Amino acid sequence: MAKSQVSRAGVSRAQRRVITALAVGALAATAALLPGSASAAGNPIGDDVSSHQGNVNWSATKAAGASFSYAKATEGTYYTNPYFAQQYNGAYNAGLIRGAYHFATPNTTGGATQADYFVSHGGGWSADGKTLPGALDIEYNPYGATCYGLSQGSMVNWIASFLNEYHARTGRWAVIYTTTDWWKSCTGNYSGFANNDPLWIANYTGSATPLPNGWGFYTFWQYADSGSMAGDQDVFNGAYSRLQALALG
């Protein structure tokens, strides 16, 4: 996913590529839903974008097969994506189901404060059947310590504060975007959000698994950082009707 405001590649992207390289051999024999087979089976594909992509050609992205898109809205309480309106509204106008995401910086302000900032700057939800619940992008810190200097317990509390406030403001539980290795390291592989919050897993090894504790399946899988669509490449784990149901709430 488009990570920090400073650099899309950033520390997190570099770390993930190292992890990917190490994991390819171990996961080569794992039975998994591959992007190609997912699309062939009717599973919707989409992308996620940020200021790195600038103004997106949504007609071309839709022609490439996209059914949905997430756009970065905010980071911390100090940054809004200057291209967000074109990306978020452009996807909608092109007929895609769209959503917004927030890049978390748990060492700068509290979870509830960042949820409020997100909702107030494009991260809300409406029951129009074309808007996905907002997503919390919680992962490697591109600016410093991997877990933002928080203990595992403090990180779980921060995430809970964000999710609860987002739910209070919108009536929806946010999607959680993360990687399994970060989740294990920084939350102790906490399972308590799995009942409410859909999982958006990032894994470039050709397999979405292993998943963080508690989630028996993923809702979205980010399987590549480039491809035929504008941004990172994603697939939804279900039929288009289920994607519509997620948007409707």
What is the C-alpha to C-alpha distance for residues 141 and 129, in angstroms, rounded to an integer? 33
**Which residue of the set 47, 75, 116, 137 is catalytic?**
137
Q: How many CB atoms lie within 10 A of CB 190?
A: 19
139 is catalytic: yes
Count of CA atoms in the C-beta half-sphere (13 A) of 96: 31
* Residue of 47, 75, 139, 181 marked active site: 139
Catalytic-residue membership of 197: no
* 104 closest CA partner among 175, 14, 9: 175
Strand blocks (E) in the chain: 45-49, 66-75, 79-80, 97-103, 135-137, 175-178, 199-202, 220-224, 232-236
Tell me how far apart the alpha carbons of residues 11 and 3 are, in angstroms, rounded to a whole number. Answer: 9
Cα dihedral 98, 87, 69, 9 in deg (nearest 10): -140
| Cα separation, 236 vs 35, whole angstroms | 10
47 tagged catalytic? no
The active-site residue, picked from 47, 48, 197, 232, is: 48
Asked if 4 and 51 touch (Cβ cutoff 8 Å), the reply is: no
CA separation for the pair 177, 212 (Å, rounded): 11
Q: Which residues are catalytic?
A: 48, 137, 139
